[in-house]
Structure 1
Amino acid sequence: MIDTARLVEVARGELVCLWGDLDEARRDAHEGQWSMGCDSLVERIKALTPLVGATPWAQVQIALLEDGVYQRVHQELGIEVTVDMDAVAEHRAWLDQQAVTT
């Protein structure tokens, strides 16, 4: 018997990892832009998301939120997501402050 609840849980975890992989792939791409590897990761994200729902924005890397990548991927899927950009800006300010103090 297939444990569908466990399958959904694993798929959601994989989505979190895929968003992290996308952030890393973009940072590793030439001049931090976009690559074929990024395209491949987005396609994998797009394959899983309709099956288990959007990854909560708070579990996605800040750069992908700031640049609208997270929002664009979901828009292309026809899935509405709302990102608290005030909270994102606050977190960015905190990260920038941490970088100054270290």
Structure 2
Amino acid sequence: MGIDVDRLAEAAREELTSLWHDLHEARMHAYSSGWSMKCDSLVERIRSLTLLVGPTPWEQIQIPLLEDGVYQRVHAEMGVEAQPPDMQRVNELSALINGQAEALRP
């Protein structure tokens, strides 16, 4: 039984998307929603997989990571060219989500 390189790459891409989500969660739980050692560890894992399979499309990244420039910074530090996020679209989505959340408040 040989290694299915395409399936392996797809699994790595899925894990990479999950790591970005985990980074978002780790930032939310860090002191003052800042940064933590866990964030550093997750970024190292993101870098390792990104260098193997390429960047995760920005559309699959949590809005705060785009708004704060974390996604952009991580790729720039690696020297990996990722498609720049459409910040107008990101801002529209953020406003939509915040509006929906506000509408649900009693």
Task: Report the TM-score range of the alignment, normalised by the length of the smaller protein.
Answer: over 0.9
User: Match of 2:102?
Assistant: 100
Which residue identity lines up with residue 100 of structure 1 in the other structure?
E
Counterpart of 2:44 in 1: which secondary structure? helix
Alignment partner for residue 89 of structure 1, among 68, 77, 91? 91
Displacement of 1:79 in angstroms is: 1.1
User: Match of 2:35?
Assistant: 34
Structure whose alpha-carbon radius of gyration is higher: 2
Which residue identity lines up with residue 7 of structure 1 in the other structure?
L
User: Match of 1:47?
Assistant: 48
Runs (4+) of structure 1 exceeding 4 A deviation are: none
Counterpart of 1:34 in 2: which secondary structure? coil
Displacement of 1:80 in angstroms is: 1.6
Using the alignment, how far apart are the partners of 1:52 and 1:74 within structure 2? 13
User: Match of 1:56?
Assistant: 57
Displacement of 1:9 in angstroms is: 0.2
TM-score, normalised with respect to structure 2: 0.94
Using the alignment, how far apart are the partners of 2:80 and 2:48 within structure 1? 13
Aligned length: 102
Using the alignment, how far apart are the partners of 2:37 and 2:101 within structure 1? 31
TM-score, normalised with respect to structure 1: 0.98
Using the alignment, how far apart are the partners of 2:81 and 2:3 within structure 1? 29
Can you list the C-alpha shifts for 1:32-56, whole angstroms capped at 9, x where unaligned?
Answer: 1000000000000000001101000
Alignment gaps of 5+ in structure 2: none
Cα-Cα RMSD: 0.6
Counterpart of 2:80 in 1: which secondary structure? coil
